[in-house]
């Protein structure tokens, strides 16, 4: 049970870190940047590019499987081409991005938790991420086709983008329930997305993706698709749709945004308790193969709300976010998920570009999976821990050292890692992994 949790921790990391869009360079084009002028000239012709290096120095100082630290990093290279400027193709945009990932994962190696400590944690490799073509459809909306990641556009929260833990991007419920973690960092997959403008600040967004971005049944999904070029097309599809509405609240016209959506996967999902013979997977007579259940699904809701505008320079404000989602109990490791947090843009008037935030995430283990743990107690391990939930509390401060360079001290408290699974260092399999305390720092350079 623990090995599954640890493996999933390295395979399901959530959305990629908060970053600037292509059309907003973060390094002043002519100050301390010898390539700035050339970059600006190329951008005028329709080609924009970026390079982002993110480095994490994180340590587990208490609890978990073992104490210790890791140094890991990720280089992202991305390019967007405005095909209207380049070749006269009106309303067309081309995008490609790739990663070079290095270093071990703290969740996989030292904690064994489900809500991955770092949203860049992944198997070290060089891999293609997204590769797509987008066609604007006038005022109607846009259509995007190619290799896509659902976490780039669905279930996301703007205010949650500050945090390092992966669950505040692609939430732990989809990351742990979908095959190979779903089409999310670091695994994109062939698909299509349409976005429709419904008037005002209301949009409908829907996507269809190949249902497994790796190889079905792979022990390690990332190693089975090591360079992001499997381009699978024949797996059962994954569908997702989201209605997004922006609004202004009160006399102060504080901006808010709400998203209501749902996903549906047409493939087979393993039963969390019973095998193909109808026996418990903990029964000595079990076939060892989980029964297959057709299709999985989950509704969700997201809200971002500015609570207060702060005086002083820049766009200083206090904002909040909350998300909630559920999935069927019998075929889902996590049946209910919720997170919430508060972020402050410009916590000090003298530092309007800094950000501070506190967030909490909660993932409830399904009743069917808990029943399997009770079966394990009955069939031979009386003191085997019962899984119930995993939670994380994160406190983070992101300081801008210079344009394009931020340093982010971070604290996380991991409650009941793996949902309260046995510690692999305990031969009796009766002592669960203890709550973990993670401290560290992230440095991000964007160009």
pLDDT tens digits for range 15-72: 444 555 554 444 444 345 666 677 777 888 899 999 999 999 999 999 999 999 999 9
pLDDT tens digits for range 380-417: 899 999 999 999 999 999 999 999 999 999 999 999 99
Spatial CB neighbours of 301, under 8 Å, sequence gap ≥ 6? 258, 259, 260, 261, 323, 324, 325
Residues 245 and 202: their CA atoms lie apart, in Å, by 4
Residue 422: band (very low, low, confident or very high) from pLDDT cuts 50, 70, 90:
very high
Q: What is the mean pLDDT of the chain?
A: 92
Q: How far apart are the first and last CA of the chain?
A: 42
CA proximity to 314, closest of 355, 345, 356: 345
pLDDT tens digits for range 234-269: 999 999 999 999 999 999 999 999 999 999 999 999
Question: Which architecture characterizes domain 2-446 according to CATH?
Answer: Beta Barrel (2.40)
Residues 303 and 321: their CA atoms lie apart, in Å, by 5
306: tokens are 């500015």
Given a cut of 90, is residue 151 above it in pLDDT? yes
- Per-residue pLDDT, 6: 45
């Amino acid at each position: 049970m623990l090995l599954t949790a640890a493996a999933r921790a390295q395979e399901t990391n959530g959305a990629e870190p908060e970053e600037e869009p292509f059309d907003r360079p973060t390094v002043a084009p002519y100050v301390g940047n010898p390539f700035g002028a050339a970059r600006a000239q190329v951008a005028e012709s329709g080609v924009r590019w970026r390079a982002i290096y993110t480095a994490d120095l994180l340590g587990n100082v208490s609890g978990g499987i073992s104490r210790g630290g890791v140094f890991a990093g990720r280089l992202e290279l991305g390019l967007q081409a405005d095909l209207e400027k380049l070749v006269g193709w009106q309303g067309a945009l081309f995008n490609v991005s790739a990663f070079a990932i290095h270093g071990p994962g703290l969740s996989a190696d030292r904690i064994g938790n489900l809500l991955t400590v770092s949203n860049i944690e992944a198997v070290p490799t060089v891999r293609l991420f997204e590769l797509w073509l987008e066609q604007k459809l006038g005022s109607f909306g846009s259509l995007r086709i190619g290799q896509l990641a659902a976490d780039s556009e669905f279930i996301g929260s703007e205010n949650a983008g500050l945090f390092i833990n992966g669950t505040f991007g692609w939430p732990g419920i989809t990351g742990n329930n979908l095959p190979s973690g779903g089409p999310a960092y670091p695994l994109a997959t062939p698909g299509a997305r349409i976005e429709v403008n419904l008037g005002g600040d209301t949009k409908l967004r829907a996507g269809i993706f190949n249902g497994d971005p790796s190889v079905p049944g792979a022990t390690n999904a990332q190693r089975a698709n090591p360079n992001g070029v499997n381009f699978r097309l024949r797996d059962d599809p994954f569908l997702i749709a989201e209605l997004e509405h922006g609004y202004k609240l009160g006399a102060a016209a504080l901006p808010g945004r709400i998203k209501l959506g749902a996903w549906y996967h047409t493939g087979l999902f393993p039963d969390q308790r019973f095998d193909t013979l109808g026996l418990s997977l903990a029964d000595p007579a079990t076939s060892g193969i989980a029964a297959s259940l057709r299709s999985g699904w989950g509704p969700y809701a997201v809200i971002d709300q500015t609570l207060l505008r702060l005086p002083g320079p820049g766009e200083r404000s206090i904002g909040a976010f909350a998300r909630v989602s559920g999935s069927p109990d019998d075929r889902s490791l996590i049946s209910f998920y919720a997170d919430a947090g508060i972020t402050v843009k410009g916590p000090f008037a003298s530092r309007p570009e800094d950000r501070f935030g506190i967030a909490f995430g909660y993932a409830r283990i399904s009743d069917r999976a808990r029943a399997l743990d009770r079966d394990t107690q009955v069939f031979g391990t009386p003191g085997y821990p019962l899984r119930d939930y995993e939670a994380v509390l994160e406190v983070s401060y992101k300081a801008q050292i210079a344009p394009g360079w931020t340093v982010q001290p971070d604290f996380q408290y991991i409650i009941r890692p793996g949902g309260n699974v046995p510690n692999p260092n305990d031969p009796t399999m009766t002592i669960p992994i203890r709550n973990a305390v993670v401290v560290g720092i992230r440095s991000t350079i964007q160009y």
